Amino acid sequence: MYKIFSVLLLVTFSFSVISCSSEDSSGATSQLGQVLDQPNSTDDESKIILPVVTVGICELIDNSVIDNSTVDNSSISDNSSIKDSTVKNCSTVTSSTVDNSSTVDNSVISSSTINNSYICAQSTIDNSTIDNSTVCNSSTVQGGSTVNGGSTVNGGSTVQDGSTVQGGSTVQGGSTVQGGSTVQGGSTVCYGTIDNATIDNSTVCFGTVPMSIVNRTVQNQVMTESDAPTVSSTSPANGATGTSCSSSATPGRNYITVTFSEKMNTTSVTTNTDNASCSGTILLSTDSFVTCVRMTNGDPTTSDNESFIVHPASALQNKDWLETPGNGPTYKIRVKGGVNGVKDLSGNTMSIDNTTGTGFITAKSTNGC
């Protein structure tokens, strides 16, 4: 009777294993089936001995050294060290060191240090330090992580919160990318803070001098410094009366001069030469810039890209420009800033408009003002 019961139990167990085979990806069912199919000389024993089968599960590796190994679907935590190894397929690395040419693939890394390694294939790095490593293929760097020391972040990877580094770009030398910024299109950023800005196909680098790119767009240029230009002086000066504004080189020709704090991109320094509209970035007006004085064709002119001269059109020289002090109009100079304003050679835009508060009054003379 006991033999019959044992045989029935064995048959029932075999059918149970077969019915679950579609759910077992480890091969355990196949292994068990092969063993059960083998002739067994002890079938008549009072107790059947079934084989021991190991099924793949998520292993916890804690406070260990993993060297020249492959770690798959596991959890590594608490001061473990991973060297010359491959970590892949949904593994989790927490509070550990990953270094020396290790590869991390489709895994989660948190509160760890990563040196000389490759983090690719949609891995997530959270609150970690990445040093001299490559982050690529749609990986995500987030939550207070730092990318520094010659690391490369590329291939559709993301640096957050909300920031994106993509398209073969390099973020290096202690730079920080944060707060909704985008660095893309073959750009290089070094020793800078990129905050809520877009860097596209540009180089942002000035030796080891920290640069700050905030709330702006930099496209198709080389930025060697990040200081916005300012207006150093205007001539005639603000508040001047009875002012002469003619040149010994061009007697009888009135002119004004605007001098900047640094060399400027000359294409951004313009004026209106067609009519009385207030177009361009250097403006002269007597009615709070409702209308502006028309300037001579070819203006502005410069010899050093810092001081720019504009000449009122000849038709105005003997009408509105020449006045007795106190009786004539007050001229104000405005230099436009902001997105459409004047820019320096690094593409830095003067932050706001610069307008002379008092203006100047010209003096009547035979050779100009």
CA angle 98–103–107, rounded 5-degree value = 80
Assign 3-class secondary structure to the chain.
CHHHHHHHHHHHHHHHHHHCHHHCCCCHHHHHHHHHHCCCCCCCCCCCCCCCCCCCCCEEEECCEEECCEEECEEEECCCEEECCEEECCCEEECCEEECCCEEECCEEECCEEECCEEECCCEEECCEEECCEECCCCEEECCCEEECCCEECCCCEECCCCEECCCCEEECCCEEECCCEEECCCEEECEEEECCEEECCEECCCCCCEEEECCEEECCEECCCCCCCEEEEECCCCCCCECCECCCCCCCECEEEEECCCECHHHCCCCCCCCCCCCCEEEECCCCCCCCCECCCCCECCCCCEEEECECHHHCCCCCCCCCCCCCCEEEEECCCCCCCEECCCCECCCCEECCCCECECCECCEC
**Does residue 16 sit in the same domain as residue 123?**
no
**Does residue 7 sit in the same domain as residue 62?**
no
Name the domain boundary from 28, 56, 84: 56
Name the domain boundary from 56, 83, 103: 56
Query: How far apart, in whole angstroms, are the C-alpha atoms of residue 53 and residue 46?
Result: 22
pLDDT at 31 (0 to 100): 36
Residue 137 lies in a domain: no
Domains: count for the chain: 3
**Does residue 360 sit in the same domain as residue 233?**
yes
**Does residue 340 sit in the same domain as residue 248?**
yes
pLDDT at 22 (0 to 100): 38
Q: What CATH number did the domain enclosing 322 receive? A: 2.60.40.1220
**Does residue 267 sit in the same domain as residue 335?**
yes
Sort 41 into a burial class: Cβ within 10 Å, 0-12 / 13-18 / 19+: exposed
Radius of gyration of the chain (CA): 37
**49 φ/ψ angles, rounded to the nearest 5 degrees:** -100, 110
**Does residue 334 sit in the same domain as residue 252?**
yes
**Does residue 334 sit in the same domain as residue 367?**
yes
Residue 280 contacts residue 294 (beta carbons within 8 Å): no
Residue 51 lies in a domain: yes
Buried b / exposed e along 355-366 (16+ C-beta atoms within 10 A): bbeebbbbbeee
Q: Which residues lie below 8 Å from residue 232, measured CB to CB, with a gap of 6+?
A: 259, 260, 261
Name the domain boundary from 131, 153, 170: 131
Residue 180 lies in a domain: no
pLDDT at 320 (0 to 100): 42
Residue 150 lies in a domain: no
**Does residue 4 sit in the same domain as residue 102?**
no
Containing structural domain, residue 247: 227-369
**Does residue 46 sit in the same domain as residue 70?**
no
Residue 158 lies in a domain: no
Residue 261 lies in a domain: yes
**Does residue 5 sit in the same domain as residue 27?**
yes
Residue 202 lies in a domain: no
**Does residue 265 sit in the same domain as residue 362?**
yes
Residue 234 contacts residue 300 (beta carbons within 8 Å): no
Residue 61 lies in a domain: yes
**Does residue 64 sit in the same domain as residue 22?**
no
Residue-wise pLDDT tens for the chain (369 aa)? 544 444 443 444 344 333 323 333 434 333 323 333 344 444 444 443 434 333 345 778 888 888 888 888 888 888 889 888 888 888 888 888 888 888 888 888 888 888 888 887 778 888 887 877 888 766 778 767 777 666 777 666 667 656 667 666 677 666 777 777 788 777 888 777 888 888 888 888 887 777 888 888 888 888 888 889 999 999 888 887 655 555 444 445 578 899 999 999 999 999 999 989 999 999 999 899 999 999 988 999 999 999 999 988 853 444 444 444 455 678 899 999 998 999 999 989 999 999 999 888 765 544 444
